[in-house]
Every structure is written in structure tokens, then in C-alpha cells.
Amino acid sequence: MVSIENFDNKFRKIGNSEEWKKLQSIFNECSHIFLFGHGGNMGIADHAAIDMTRLTDKNVIAPGSGVLSTSIISDNNFNVWLAKWLEFRTRGIKDLSKCLAIGMSCSTTGESSDSLVHALSWAQDNGLNTCLWAAQEKEDLRDDILTINQDCVNYHTSELMSLALIYELIHGAGFNCPTIKGKEKLRKMEELGVEDDFTTSNLNVPPGFEGELKNIAVDFDGVIHTFDKGWFDGTCYGKPIEGSLDALEKLSEKWNIVIFTAKGRPDRPLVNGKTGIELVWEWLEKYDVAKYVDDVTWEKPRAEYYIDDKGVHFDNNWDEVLEIVL
């Protein structure tokens, strides 16, 4: 299979970096977002601008149109066309400090790279916030342009990473990235005229995360997957626990199933070149239940219920809890 370079580890490394935290803070405060790139990254920027506009309260724009780009290039030249586009699109915006320009690039040198860097330099000089998403470190880049180094070898990995990072920005700003099953259920409710009592009666999540009220969190080892040998060789070596596969199917009819497992921790060593989360998904596919699962995570997810073989139920009963665990 084509290599995606331990994508999950790279994604989490970026998300935990100081550069990303700074970018997220800037994004949260900005009202106008400008996304651009060349080639495949132009397609990523166009897609991202549409989804960011749909899922957030921000004004998000990408060049998109071939008519637009070729017209500006014809009037000027390739090196300055992105800078000219930014100049046109920021007309009438009084406070440019509320603007963020994000350039996406796979190349390290050449005309494409020069044009993109020129646009970011124009934006920085004119008071916009700027950030470069680069597959690899660029040469001679200004220090005042924030850089997210994806550390990717392949074009396709970098482009996939850029799209994933778009949704991380959306999520990190407190907006909801809908699940496929969640959206399907909402459509069915709307068709039937049924009110969604999850989103109207329960306020235990931040605004924009109401969809996560439909989550049910299920532990993996010892609940779905037998774990009688402990770590062993690091693989998902066990069989399904009796009744677990049928339970996942039934639960999926009402809930968004989120599997949580320490196997997914980013500090877990790779096993056969794969992360723990990749191994769990492979096991779920093997037993034909991946279609019932919405997510696999190592973090504690927001959920209405948690099913865990090591959990101790708490109901204002500290004395009983201490008796169990001490």
C-alpha cells in the first residue's frame, strides 16, 4: 500500500507543537481567513474554504477559479499573482489584524514556492497574520512568518496533512466537525419531524459540540478485544469478546461509537511500522465492525456513557469506591 508516513504520529506532533498552538490562537481571533497554494494545494485550499465557511462563523476565501488566477497572471506575472489576489480580497477590510493568510506548499524552491512566499511577505508587510504550511523546511524564509513544518516526504502525504489540519483548526476553535452517521441521523429526524432531544435538553458540552452528546465511549482491550496476554508482541492478537460484535452493531443504531484505548497513545512504539490506532482499525475491519465505529482515540472522549472493564461507578459514594480500590 502507498505510504502515508505514520500520518497519525505526524499529525499529533504538529498539533502538540508550540507553533500550532500559536496558530490556533490567531485563527480563533481572526474573522477573515485566506487560504492558497498551487496545484493540488489549490484544490485543498478551495475545499477547505468551503468547509470552514460552512462550519464556522468566519469569512474564508480561496482563489479557486482558474479564470481568476489566469486573469491576474495575464495582467501581472506568476510570481506576484497570489499577492495581487490578497490585495484585491482585503479591499474594504478596515482591521487587517483580524485577517489570517495561510499558504500551503510542497515545494522547497522554484517559481511556485517563490510566488507563495511573495504573497505571505506581502501579507505580513501589510498587517495580516501569516502562516506557511510546508511539507519540508523552506530556504530563506522570513522569521516573522509563522511556519508549520509537516516533515513529509511525499506530495500526497503533505496534501492529506493540510486538509486534516484544516479540520483541526475548526475543531480547536470550538466548532463541530460532524460525523457521517450523526448527519444521517439528523436528516432522518428532520424528515420525520422528530425533535432531537440530545441537542435541546442536554447542555453538558460546549456550544458547537452538541453532536458529541450522541457519543458512547467503549474501551477496546478487555471489552471488545481479549487481552489475556498483556502487551505480548504489541499487536491486536486477541479474539472478539463474546457478544461484543453484536453489541457494537446494536449500539450504532442509537449512538456514535467512540473506542478509547491506551494503544493509541502517541508515545506507544510503532508495531510493524503501524500506530496503535492503525492496528485497532485493522482489527475492527478484520471482524467487519469498523462500519459501526465513528472514531478510535487515546483521549477521554465526550460521551453519555463509558463502557470499561476497569471502571468504578461513582454516584456520590466515595466510601464504597475507596473500599473497592484500596
According to DSSP, the residues that pair with 34 across neighbouring strands are 61, 101
**What Cα–Cα distance (Å) separates residue 33 from each residue in 52, 57, 100, 141?**
9, 11, 5, 21
Mean pLDDT in residue range 166-187: 80
Instruction: With respect to residue 199, please indicate whether it lies within any of the assigned structural domains.
Output: yes
* Total count of domains within the chain: 2
> Is residue 203 within 8 Å of residue 245, measured between CB atoms?
no
Helix extents (H) in 110-230? 111-125, 155-172, 180-192, 197-201
> Is residue 33 within 8 Å of residue 130, measured between CB atoms?
no
pLDDT digits (tens, 9 = 90+) for 41-70: 999 999 999 999 999 999 999 998 778 888
According to DSSP, the residues that pair with 35 across neighbouring strands are 102
Instruction: With respect to residue 314, please indicate whether it lies within any of the assigned structural domains.
Output: no
User: What CATH number does the domain containing 285 carry?
Assistant: 3.40.50
Same domain (yes/no): 130, 82:
yes
Q: Please say which residue of 172, 207, 238 terminates a domain.
A: 172
Mean pLDDT in residue range 264-290: 91
Instruction: With respect to residue 89, please indicate whether it lies within any of the assigned structural domains.
Output: yes
Could you give the 3-state DSSP secondary structure of residue 163? helix
Q: Please say which residue of 125, 141, 172 terminates a domain.
A: 172
Same domain (yes/no): 134, 95:
yes
Same domain (yes/no): 162, 189:
no
User: What CATH number does the domain containing 153 carry?
Assistant: 3.40.50.10490
d(CA 167, CA 15): 12
Listed in sequence order, the residues at least 6 apart from 212 whose beta carbon sits closer than 8 Å to its beta carbon are 176, 205, 256, 301, 302, 303
pLDDT of residue 210: 67
Same domain (yes/no): 102, 27:
yes
Using a cut of 0.75, tell me whether the model's pTM lies above it.
Answer: no
89-98, 207-216, 294-303: least confidently modelled range: 207-216
Same domain (yes/no): 216, 238:
yes
Q: Return the higher-pLDDT residue of 196 and 276.
A: 276
Q: Quick check: 219 pLDDT over 80?
A: yes
pLDDT of residue 199: 47
Q: Please say which residue of 129, 145, 172 terminates a domain.
A: 172
Task: Please report where in the chains the cell 488566477 appears, as a residue.
Answer: 69
Nearest to 107 by CA among 99, 115, 97, 96: 115
Same domain (yes/no): 11, 133:
yes
According to DSSP, the residues that pair with 221 across neighbouring strands are 225
Same domain (yes/no): 93, 147:
yes
Same domain (yes/no): 135, 274:
no
d(CA 9, CA 99): 30
pLDDT digits (tens, 9 = 90+) for 119-168: 999 999 999 999 999 999 887 788 999 999 999 999 999 999 999 999 99
Q: Quick check: 187 pLDDT over 70?
A: no
> Is residue 324 within 8 Å of residue 279, measured between CB atoms?
no
Instruction: With respect to residue 325, please indicate whether it lies within any of the assigned structural domains.
Output: no
Domain that holds residue 247: 180-307
Same domain (yes/no): 12, 152:
yes
**What Cα–Cα distance (Å) separates residue 77 from each residue in 43, 69, 72, 102, 202?**
21, 10, 7, 21, 55
Mean pLDDT in residue range 256-268: 91
Same domain (yes/no): 278, 160:
no
CA-only gyration radius of the chain, Å = 23
